[in-house]
Structure formats: structure tokens, C-alpha cells
């Protein structure tokens, strides 16, 4: 895996092995809610004593036929009472094993609210958190993530959404872009359309449309940064939480969010690859979704289209030209170890110490003899990564290289930019014994606080609570308190919780989310060799 092919969100989506991205709803015990009236008509969901679920609600018209690769449009009205009791379709996608799933009629969302309580909704309603799932912008679905812990313990409403993925959500092509509508970033447009639906309808569910927090992990976190940068997302949200999402545009060596004209070159090549040599919209729109998804690359990026995105997220945050709301942002201490497992252990070829130099060269994308590769090997020697008994050092060392390059230093750069303009709270998730999830199996080395490991401390993945120890449960409860308190007030702090200082460049202080009790630390920069090395490029 070369540096030019680095991706975030891949691990999360590639490892939907045991869960699947096309989850089915399982109705909790209880009877349907009284009908709630939305702009499209009344609906009923599922009710239990502690939570109410409204699943598979269409928020936009199906983007089918001539509506493929056009901005989302209103759904209109349904007939009768909509039974919001099962998840909608996932959007077309292909998993790690090449299995295809999903349907283009996929623009739905799910609303989770606390159960009925006396005087629950007096004043202005409950704060709302909108979860944007990860998956390299090519995989995943909102239904995979059950926000019951946030809803029940945090007293918030959570909305999870589907949005167009892969080339169906992020294709720039000259013929499409000449049609006179907004271009290329259809998946981001879907996310913003869902936020507009929330603004118009969430009060009917007991929510406060003036307290909306967007949050997401990996590609979802990158989407959060994109909405911070997007002029068309102005006033659609009031706080933002980006988890492991600063993997593009924050460092000079990570610039894959391209101008529209450059992205169109790739779109033209893609059209040729699927047999549309004539480059017509008719050919593109009559090609099956299966053929499109089969041919698409493993990761996609938005384009700088001039309207939805006028500049990269990194540039927007650095210049202060972004939607200025309070932000929480962070990453995990061992993010890249999961990618090491994907590239070596899970394909039957565990990395050895002898293979470490070649692995670093492959990661960087330069010959082993190149002076830059040799300097990286000098900075990350195997001796600095003593393994547990029976384990070799190489996966731990390579994991540190990848974590620093792809996630940690770009994430710190994002926090430094944000903190110049808005209240910013920076964290690093650091549970070295985080439970394996997403169908992961043990590797030949400990995965530590791997990419996406923190999600299970906030949401139930696939509807199943994580098997926490007592100290991990304490950390989970503290994180839920941080996340939901931030959604309520724009500040994660509350009485009884470990204090979390706002980030500023002078102290460079991160909140280390370590079990059982988070604590503030100032060694992030030295741990990850940011200002001393990676930030110099």
C-alpha cells in the first residue's frame, strides 16, 4: 500500500465482515407510537419504555433514471400513515469481498428519541445529533449504527442518514457538469438535504432545530470538515464533531480533493472503462448501478465544484473561511494498526521484522534506497517499539508511521486551524485494549486503539453493545457525557466529569480518552513527530 493510495474509512468499511452494510431492522418490544406529522405526512415508529425509533424515513426523492447524478429533490407526500419500522435500503456499494448490495432508492434517515417522559419537551426541545457514517465514501449505511447509548444516557435525539456513495455520489464528468445543476458532490448534497429535513421536521419528534450537531467518523469525519468548509451548509448545524476525519487536505502531502476540471479527467476515464466511450449522459445513466459500483475505485473524494465546496476543508479552516461553530475533533492513538492487519495478517502474510524496511518503502511509495525512506526508518526504528511476548515489532512500528502520517498530524493541524477562530476541543482516543468490532478477528499483534475503535464507546455497532470491562464502561459513559454535553451547550464539560480544556496552540493540549478516567496531555506533538517532521512537508 503506497502513500498515494492512503485512505481513511477503508478499515471501517472493509471490515463490515460480520455485520454487513445492509442491516435489517428488528422491532423492539412495545407498540407503535402515535402518529407524528412530518412534511410528507404522518408516520409511526417503534416504541419501548426508554427509546423510540423511527426508521427508514425518506428525506429525498429516489435518485433514479434521469435523477441519477442530480441534486436531491423533495420526496413529496406519501399516502396514509408511513410505517417507519424498518431501515431503508443501503445505497449501492461493494464490500471487501466483492459482494454487491444496496439500491439507488436509498435516501432515507432514522430518528431515535428518548422514550416519553413527563414534561420531556417543555421549553425548546432536545438537542439533535446527526451521525454521518464512514466508509471511504463508498460503503456503509446509517442503519449499521445504533445510537441507543447516546439517546438513553445522554438525553438527546440522534438521526442517522444514508447518502449516495462511490461514483453514484461523487462523479465529476464534463457531460453531467454541463447540465446546469450543482456538480460532482451529490453525496455531500444529500447530507445537507438531510440536515434541511431535520431543520424542518425535527420539532415534531421533540427536537430543537436550533441545536443540531453533526458528527461522524473517518469518511463521516471528513464529511464534517467538508460541511464546515461548505458555503451551502451555512446555518444547517450549530456544532460539529469530527472523528478521525482529517485524512485529506490538511497536509501538503495529502491533497486529493481536486478542482472540478481535474476531477472530470478521472470521470472521463471512468466512463470509458464502463463502456461509455461516447461520454454521453444517456450512456452513463442507463448503465446499471451494479456495473458502476463494480468498476469504481476503492475510495472517492469530493471535488472543488465552486459552490458546495469552493476550497478544500484544510484551506478553509486555515483561512477562517468556514462555518464558525464550536468543534470537537480527534483521532485514535493506534489508527494505522488496523490497516497493517488488513494488508498483512488478514491476507495470510503477517509482517516480519525482516520485512519492515520494504513495508515502509511500499507505504511511502518510494524505493527502499531513497533517502527519505531511510530517514523514516531512522525515525521509527524497531527498537523503539518493544512488542509483547510472542509478537514482533514491525507491525507496531509500521502502525506508528501510518498513524502519524495519515491521521495524527493532519488532525492536529485541523485543531490548530480551528482554534484560531472557534472553541475547539481536541482529543486522542487511547484504550490499548479496545474490544474488536466490525467482525474483526485477532491479528498477530495487538490492534490497540485501532481505526474506528472509539465508535463502540458511543454507539452500538450492528445493534450489539461492546463487551466492556468495568473501566472501559466508565470511559464509555464519560465519552457519552462529553459528546452529548457538547451537543447541548457547545462545551463538553460538566460537573463530575474530568475537565477538558479547550485546545490552543500555546499549550497544545489534547484530552487523552484513556480508561477509566480521561486526562489532559501535552505530549501529542512529540509522540507523533508532527512539528519535528511531518508538518515540514
> Catalytic site residues?
218, 335, 451
With CA atoms as reference, report the closest residue to 108 among 128, 127, 126, 133.
133
Distance CA 411, CA 528 (A): 11
Vertex 228, ends 261 and 460: CA angle to 5°?
110
Distance CA 393, CA 409 (A): 22
Number of other residues whose CB lies within 10 A of the CB of residue 527: 15
Three cell numbers, residue 244: 478521525
Distance CA 216, CA 225 (A): 10
The conformation of residue 432, written as its DSSP 8-state character, comes to: T
Distance CA 106, CA 476 (A): 31
Q: Is the omega angle on the peptide bond into residue 516 within 30 degrees of 0, that is, cis?
A: yes
Classified as helix, coil or strand, 72 is: coil
With CA atoms as reference, report the closest residue to 153 among 480, 473, 513, 493.
480
Number of other residues whose CB lies within 10 A of the CB of residue 35: 13
Classified as helix, coil or strand, 410 is: helix
Which CA distances in Å does 49 have to 16, 52, 168? Answer: 30, 8, 40
Number of other residues whose CB lies within 10 A of the CB of residue 480: 20
Vertex 154, ends 514 and 323: CA angle to 5°?
85
With CA atoms as reference, report the closest residue to 493 among 200, 115, 484.
484
Q: How many residues does the chain have?
A: 537
Instruction: Return left, alpha or beta for 244; rule: phi > 0 is left, psi -120 to 50 is alpha, else beta.
Output: left
Q: Which residue has the cell 461492546?
A: 466
Amino acid at each position: 500500500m503506497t502513500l498515494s493510495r492512503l485512505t481513511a474509512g477503508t478499515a471501517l468499511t472493509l471490515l463490515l465482515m460480520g455485520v454487513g452494510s445492509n442491516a435489517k431492522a428488528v422491532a423492539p418490544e412495545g407498540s407503535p407510537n402515535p402518529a407524528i406529522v412530518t412534511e410528507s405526512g404522518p408516520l409511526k415508529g417503534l416504541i419501548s419504555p426508554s427509546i423510540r425509533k423511527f426508521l427508514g424515513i425518506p428525506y429525498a426523492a429516489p435518485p433514479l433514471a434521469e435523477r441519477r447524478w442530480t441534486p436531491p429533490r423533495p420526496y413529496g407526500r406519501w399516502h396514509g400513515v408511513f410505517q417507519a419500522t424498518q431501515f431503508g435500503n443501503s445505497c449501492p456499494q461493494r464490500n471487501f469481498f466483492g459482494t454487491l448490495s444496496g439500491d439507488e432508492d436509498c435516501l432515507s434517515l432514522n430518528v431515535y428519541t428518548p422514550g416519553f417522559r413527563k414534561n420531556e419537551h417543555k421549553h425548546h426541545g432536545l438537542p439533535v445529533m446527526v451521525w454521518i457514517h464512514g466508509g471511504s465514501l463508498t460503503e456503509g449505511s446509517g442503519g449499521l449504527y445504533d445510537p441507543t447509548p447516546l439517546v438513553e444516557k445522554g438525553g438527546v435525539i440522534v438521526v442517522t442518514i444514508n447518502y449516495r456513495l462511490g461514483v453514484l455520489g461523487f462523479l465529476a464528468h464534463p457531460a453531467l457538469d454541463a447540465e446546469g445543476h450543482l456538480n460532482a458532490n451529490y453525496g455531500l448534497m444529500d447530507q445537507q438535504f438531510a440536515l434541511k429535513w431535520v431543520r424542518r421536521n425535527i420539532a415534531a419528534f421533540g427536537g430543537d432545530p436550533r441545536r443540531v450537531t453533526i458528527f461522524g467518523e473517518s469518511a463521516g469525519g471528513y464529511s464534517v470538515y467538508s460541511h464546515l468548509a461548505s458555503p451551502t451548509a451555512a446555518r444547517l448545524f450549530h456544532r460539529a464533531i469530527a472523528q478521525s476525519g482529517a485524512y485529506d487536505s490538511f497536509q501538503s502531502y495529502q491533497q486529493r480533493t481536486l478542482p472540478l476540471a481535474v476531477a472530470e479527467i478521472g470521470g472521463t476515464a471512468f466512463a470509458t472503462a464502463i463502456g461509455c466511450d461516447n461520454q454521453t449522459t444517456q450512456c452513463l445513466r442507463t448503465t446499471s448501478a451494479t456495473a458502476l459500483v463494480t468498476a469504481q475505485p476503492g475510495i472517492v473524494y469530493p471535488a472543488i465544484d465552486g459552490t458546495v465546496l469552493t476550497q478544500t476543508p484544510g484551506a478553509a479552516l486555515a483561512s477562517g473561511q468556514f462555518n464558525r461553530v464550536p468543534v470537537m475533533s480527534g483521532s485514535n492513538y493506534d489508527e494505522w494498526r488496523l490497516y497493517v492487519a488488513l494488508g498483512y495478517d488478514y491476507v495470510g502474510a503477517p509482517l516480519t521484522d525482516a520485512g519492515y524496511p520494504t513495508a515502509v518503502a511500499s507505504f511511502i511509495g518510494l524505493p527502499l534506497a531513497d533517502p527519505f525512506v531511510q530517514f523514516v526508518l531512522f525515525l521509527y526504528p524497531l527498537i523503539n517499539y518493544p512488542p509483547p511476548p510472542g509478537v514482533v515489532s514491525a507491525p507496531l512500528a509500521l502502525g506508528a508511521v501510518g498513524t502519524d502520517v495519515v491521521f495524527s498530524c493532519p488532525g492536529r493541524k485541523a485543531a490548530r486551524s480551528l482554534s484560531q477562530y472557534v472553541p475547539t476541543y481536541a482529543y486522542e482516543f487511547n484504550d490499548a485494549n479496545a474490544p474488536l468490532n466490525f467482525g474483526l478477528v485477532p491479528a498477530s499483534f495487538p490492534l490497540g486503539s485501532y481505526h474506528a475503535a472509539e465508535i463502540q464507546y458511543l454507539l452500538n455497532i450492528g445493534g450489539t453493545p461492546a463487551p466492556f470491562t468495568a473501566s472501559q464502561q466508565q470511559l464509555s459513559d464519560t465519552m457519552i457525557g462529553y459528546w452529548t454535553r457538547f451537543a447541548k451547550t457547545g462545551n463538553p464539560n460538566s460537573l463530575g466529569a474530568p475537565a477538558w480544556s479547550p485546545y490552543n496552540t500555546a499549550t497544545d493540549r489534547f484530552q487523552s480518552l484513556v480508561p477509566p478516567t480521561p486526562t489532559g496531555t501535552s505530549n501529542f506533538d512529540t509522540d507523533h513527530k508532527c512539528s519535528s517532521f511531518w508538518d515540514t512537508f
